[in-house]
Amino acid sequence: MTASPPDRAGSTLVVATIAVLLSGLCAGSLYEVYVRGEKSVELGMELAEANQNARSGVDLVARELRSAGYGVHPATQPSILVGSQYRVTFALDRNGNNRIDRGEVITYFLDPSTGDPLVTTNPNPFDFVLRREVSADGDPLANPVSGHGEIVAFGLTQRSRDTAASRDVPLFSYRDSEGAALELKPGSESDPVGIFFGKTVSRGDLGFPPSSPRVKSVHVSMVTETKQRNLESGHYDRATVTTSVEPCGGPWSGMEVP
């Protein structure tokens, strides 16, 4: 027996419908693979950018911090004026006149504000920027002010893991000759400008008179993260760049920290 024309038409319609559905599923799968591939490439580029950003920031800070206290005499005050976990202020005699002039006190600090355009356009909610402030008339100590100063690095989160609700990796750690972190000594206080900058090395350990400085090296650690979460792990990929710097240690004179 043969199928009647209406039966053949119905069978053809069913076959065509199945073919369309299968084609749609295949196209959807291929598109999903394509999108995931593009996302993976984008995340790889973001991680590379985060790593390069951290490396450039560390190199810049280390280069200047290594010269802290250069060429200044006599030994009446230290080269590092404030040493906090997320802020450092130091002096160096750029023009070699044996005193600290305008532009020769430098502060690097993690900006506590998340309102900068570089931050607000980043989907990662833990993002901060690193700023560089230079002393000027009316601000001889280059005090850190949110939104002021040159941005030298962005994408810094200073988190060790995704479960960290806030920064838990110090940007700066000040070590004595035995490698102990001076900012973590019992009785350490908060940065004089604000608690955001974390614990601070005491004035005596920094070398304010009549003591001699105990800071022998400064460990710099920058942690940056990608803007988007990793599709596979669900976490932010992060890059960590660290270095240890031994400041010149030359003392300086003519300025007092309040």
DSSP E strands, 163-211: 172-175, 189-190, 199-200
Within a domain: residue 175?
Answer: yes
The range of the structural domain enclosing residue 234 comes to 41-245
pLDDT at 101: 83
Within a domain: residue 203?
Answer: yes
Within a domain: residue 250?
Answer: no
For residue 185, give Cα distances in angstroms to 41, 142, 190, 219: 45, 26, 12, 16
Judged against a pLDDT cut of 80, whether residue 3 lies above it is answered with: no
Within a domain: residue 5?
Answer: no
Domain total for the chain?
1
Within a domain: residue 162?
Answer: yes
pLDDT at 198: 94
**What are φ and ψ of residue 91, in 5° steps?**
-125, 150
Within a domain: residue 255?
Answer: no
8-67 pLDDT, tens digit per residue, is 555 676 666 776 666 666 666 555 654 555 555 555 677 778 788 888 889 999 999 988
